[in-house]
Structure 1
Amino acid sequence: MSDTKLVRGTMLLTGATITSKLLGVLYIFPFTLLVGQQGNALYQYGYLPYTILLSLATLGVPMAVSKFVSKYNALDDYVTGQRLFRSGVVFMTITGFIAFLGLFIMAPVIAGWVLPSGDSSGNSHSDVVFTIRMVSFALLIIPGMAVFRGYFQGFQSMGPTAASQVIEQLARIIFILAAAFLVLEVFGGSLGLAVGLATFGALIGGLGSLSVLLYFWKKRKAGIQEQIRESKKDHQLPLSSMYKELIAYALPLSFVGLAIPLFQAIDLFTFNDAMTAGYGANAGQAETAFGAFSRTTHALIMIPVALATAMSVNLIPAITKANTNRDTESMHRLITKTFQIILFFTIPAAFGLTILATPAFASLYGLEDLGVGSMVLSYYAPAAILFSIFAVTAAILQGMNRQKYAVIGLCIGLFFKLVLNYWLISSFGAVGGVAATIIGYTLAIGFNIWAVGKFAAYQYTQIGKHAAVILGITAIMAVSVYIVREGGMVVFDTSGQTGFVAILVFGVLIGMLLYFILSIRTGMAEKVLGDRFSFSRLRR
């Protein structure tokens, strides 16, 4: 395969992944208007255990299968990859079925763990059980489907995975919003029924994705079979050896990819009890705060995270190549560029979101629960910087074949999150959960940064200087946005949603314009984005 085709396929897959993630964030806005914060809390009760079990059932299969198949295809052994594919589909389907049974049967127990104790002003036990069981059905097909994606990618064919990801997300979102709307607005059904059926969208999305993959398989099967018949070698590896090789690569990758869900799982099992028993909130208040923290505000801060990591993700394969070739100079240059991109985009976005928390939450989610939502968002927004840096440092360590250090860093962060979470929430409410997350991620990042510096012999002096400039520009921008916000609160009518929308629009536009101008004048835009943003060029 030509380098051009490989790059095009990688860009296609990256674009599809980012599109899928952004769609997965944006639909939460209308969904929240339908079900509210308690509905979001109920959705999370089912979806978080499902996400963790799905990752455990698949163990990073797509990328691991891709690497395995690509390796043996390069050795002119297409037979071994085919054997892995066939056995992998069966094996992953079995693990998915086991995961389904476990989640379906354990639903009443999990519901008891996550529901707040005390009064009955929150979601009912039966609603939580129904929600968990509805989402569990997706485990029947998605693990096996992951093998198809990995097999296609092993042939450097990214189109099937890209198309299936987008179709899966679209089908899921359409079903979620349609189910919630029909149950609540047309048939006058209960919130529990609406959210429970909405989580069944995971299975609908999986079926849509599988249909796309089967279409591509039918279309390309003859060509693949021809390559298998023309194989020059057959290593005749036993299945035990194949799976050992797969797991050794996939397990660390899967665990690191679970970073945010694992942090959220700690909140899932401690947040409500800490709010009711320690902080003194009733069940309804606890679930409202949990919905705002774990879903609606989290969705907002993931937007700059998705955009920033998308711009740096293509640098990671280059870091892998530089490490393989022992090209230290190139690797240092790429690490610097990666950090520059992440900091350049996430720092202003996070601080801007902190200042505009109230108009942002009101504009996107309405005025209901504005107090708790805007408060949580204002404290939680800086975590976008940490999420981005952790993802990038973990990817750099993976590119250097030091995956275990990324796992150690994550374990450190999870340990402190677990130790501190209940105490901080019971003392400070939802803000305590935010603080525990920020502390955990900060410690995990600290370890990752140390590991990158040690194994890449990398000095952070230059990054420190760039970060200082970005923080200085951001501070000026933040003051300006604060003035716009306070002025807007006086000028516009904030008794309705329209006034907040106007404040948000003006705040974002002025903040972006000022940051762009200052970054050009200081030369930071040129360092990060290239000489097309040079101040001297623009002045001419």
Structure 2
Amino acid sequence: QTLAAGGLPPAIAKYVAEYNAVNDYDMARQTIYTALKIMVFLGLFLGVLMIFVVAPWLANSYLHKPLALVPLQIVGLITPFSVILGAFRGAFQGVYKMEYILYTRAIEQLFMILFATAFVLIGLSTVGALWGTVIGYSLAAFSSVYIFKVYMPKYIPKASPDFVFTTKQQLRLAGTLVKFSIPVIITAIAEMLIYNICTIVMGKFLTLDAVGFFAAADPIARLPLMISISVATTILPASSEAFKVKDIPTLQRYVNESYKYSLLFVVPMCVGLALFAVPTLRVLYFAKPEYVAGASALAILAIGMTFYSIFSISTSIVQGIGNPRIPMYILIFGSVTTGLLCWLLVPSMGIAGGALGTTIGCLLMMIPVVYFVFKLTKAKFQLLPVIKITLASLIMGIFALFIPKTALWLFPGIIACMIVYFFALILVKFFTKEDIASLRQLSSKFGPVSTIANKILNFVERIEFRNK
């Protein structure tokens, strides 16, 4: 699935954004169609490979668990739908219509959860859950085709009557897309290893129950990545467009603002998850109280996700300005390092060792890619906002230490921490007039919520700038 859908969507987003920047809509549309042909071929080929070759080898030779065969084969059925989704999401990303990506993700997740839950409840167990996943992806794929056909002509008009694109030109365009996407695909595979290498290593050393506890904690720890992935999705075409038209000041502003606003939300979320790991697992897995054993892994992984959030945003910037090989090399290094650390730490520390190995690996990846971002864009690193966000998160964390770590106190504790963090930001004078203006513009898109948001921003403005 990663091979089929991991590399070309960023390439689609990059070139669609660049062609749109110079009003070459015919080439923007042709980029989507050419990439879609490549991806459908890859999706079908690799799906068949997964079902008939990879799944039997994994189940019987590596894991020595024949029961895993059918679930792994069902995963292969997801791939053709996944690549269609990837192609059109790349197109939506290229014209900054992130809400279209959101719609397809909502359909994917909603129907995946509904059908997976229904199939599990009628007794189909893991196989039922995976069939629910297949249905979720397939419906999302159909929705992406519908959105593209009905709504995208507003942003990428239909082909000009005199537009002719020969087979030779199409092959040349395919070569350009593949050339850009190969390092991105390798990056995606390495990223997949970062996500899963702990589980693979644990399968060698630990019981299935222990692996299950880690697998239960891992997706919760990655919740803050929703923020960074959203920023990364937007920053790739934006940085491509600014770089294409040589608007370096705008590119530098994008760099600094993407780090600043993602850290503003990601850091307190990661700190909160680390401190409330036990009650979070108790609430989410109330029917399986033994899953609290994954709390140590959740607390450590949550900190690692701060580093990985910065890494994912940096990767999109570097790819957007035409340097996809840099994150590829860094991710290969990171995946190998993470694998080695997990191999060393898991036997002695269990799932906490796997989480620690992943966290250290994320830190070692973050440092070089951030260096390259500032080197290539010549943007100046703004240390002061980072210090202020860290201080505000520290104040919130100290306050959270005094909250009882029980299921009953989880939601009141989260609300209290949000309030403390908000006032801590005011205390350290984080907000500038530009921040308030940007946040007010953003809040205007949320309907009735914008009224409340404006009142809060007015309150901040009165406190922050009362003496100015």
TM-score interval (norm. to shorter): 0.7 to 0.9
> What's the CA shift for 1:244?
0.8
Cα displacement (A) at 1:146: 4.1
Deviation at 1:363, TM superposition (A): 1.3
In 2, distance between residues paired with 1:127 and 1:236? 47
Give the distance between the partners of 1:229 and 1:326, measured in 2 at CA.
28
| Alignment partner of 1:475 is 2:394 | yes
Residue 40 of structure 2 corresponds to which residue in structure 1? Answer: 93
Q: Which residue of 2 aligns with 1:353?
A: 273
Q: Distance in 2 between matches of 1:111 and 1:273?
A: 13
Give me the whole-angstrom Cα distance separating, in 2, the residues matched to 1:84 and 1:371: 46
Is it true that 1:109 corresponds to 2:57 in the alignment?
yes
Q: CA deviation at 1:503?
A: 1.5
Residue aligning to 1:142 = 82
State the distance in 2 between where 1:390 and 1:457 align: 18
Cα deviations across residues 37-86 of structure 1 (Å, max 9, x unaligned)? Answer: xxxxxxxxxxxxxxxxx12123433443455567678676849955972x
1:177 matched to 2:117? The reply is yes
Matched, 1:274 2:205: yes
In 2 relative to 1, CA 67–412 (structure 1 residues): closer, same or farther, beyond 3 Å?
closer
In the alignment, which residue of structure 2 is the partner of 1:57? 4
Other-structure match for 2:447: none
For 1:516 and 1:252, the matched residues in 2 are separated by 41
TM-score, normalised by the number of residues in structure 1 = 0.72
Is contact 1:134–1:197 with CA below 8 Å preserved after alignment?
Answer: no
Match of 2:222 in 1: 302
1:243 to 148, 169, 174: 174
Equivalent residues in 2 for 1:159-178, closer than 5 Å:
163-178=103-118
Q: Give the distance between the partners of 2:146 and 2:177, measured in 1 at CA.
A: 26
The answer for the alignment partner of 1:13 in structure 2 is: none
* Structure with max Cα Rg: 1
**Relative to 1, partners in 2 of residues 1:222 and 1:371: Cα closer, same or farther, differing over 3 Å?**
closer
Counterpart of 1:237 in 2: which secondary structure?
Answer: helix
| 1:84 to 1:236, Cα distance in 2 relative to 1, 3 A | farther
Residue 394 of structure 1: how far off its partner (Å): 0.8
Show the counterpart of 1:505.
411
Q: What does the per-residue CA deviation read over 1:100-120, in whole Å, with 9 as the maximum and x for residues that have no partner?
A: 2221123232124664x7xxx
User: What's 2:451 paired with?
Assistant: none
Q: Is the CA contact 1:58–1:146 (under 8 Å) kept in the aligned structure 2?
A: yes
1:48 aligns with none
Could you list the runs of 5+ residues in structure 2 that have no partner in the other structure?
Answer: 438-456
Q: TM-score, normalised by structure 2?
A: 0.82
Do 2:201 and 2:343's aligned partners in 1 also have CA atoms closer than 8 Å?
yes
For 1:231, what is the secondary structure of its paired residue? coil
Q: Matches of 1:155 and 1:377 in 2, distance apart?
A: 36
Q: Which residue of 1 aligns with 2:258?
A: 338
Q: What code does the residue aligned with 2:461 have?
A: S
Counterparts of 2:195 and 2:59, CA distance in 1: 16
Aligned to 1:363: 283
**Equivalent position to 2:138, from 163, 186, 207:** 207
**Partner SS, residue 369 of structure 1:** helix
The sequence identity of aligned pairs, in percent, is 22
Correspondence for 1:536: 463
- In the TM superposition, residue 476 of structure 1 has moved relative to its aligned partner by 2.2
> What 5-or-longer segments of structure 1 have no aligned partner?
1-53, 118-124, 184-192, 276-285, 490-499
- 1:238 CA displacement: 4.2
Q: CA deviation at 1:197?
A: 2.0
Amino acid at match of 2:407: V
Distance 1:536 1:354, change over 3 A: same
Inter-partner Cα distance in structure 1 for 2:109 and 2:355: 28
Counterpart AA for 1:137: L
For residues 220-239 of structure 1, the C-alpha deviation after alignment (integer angstroms, 9 at most, x for no partner) is: 89999994461345465344
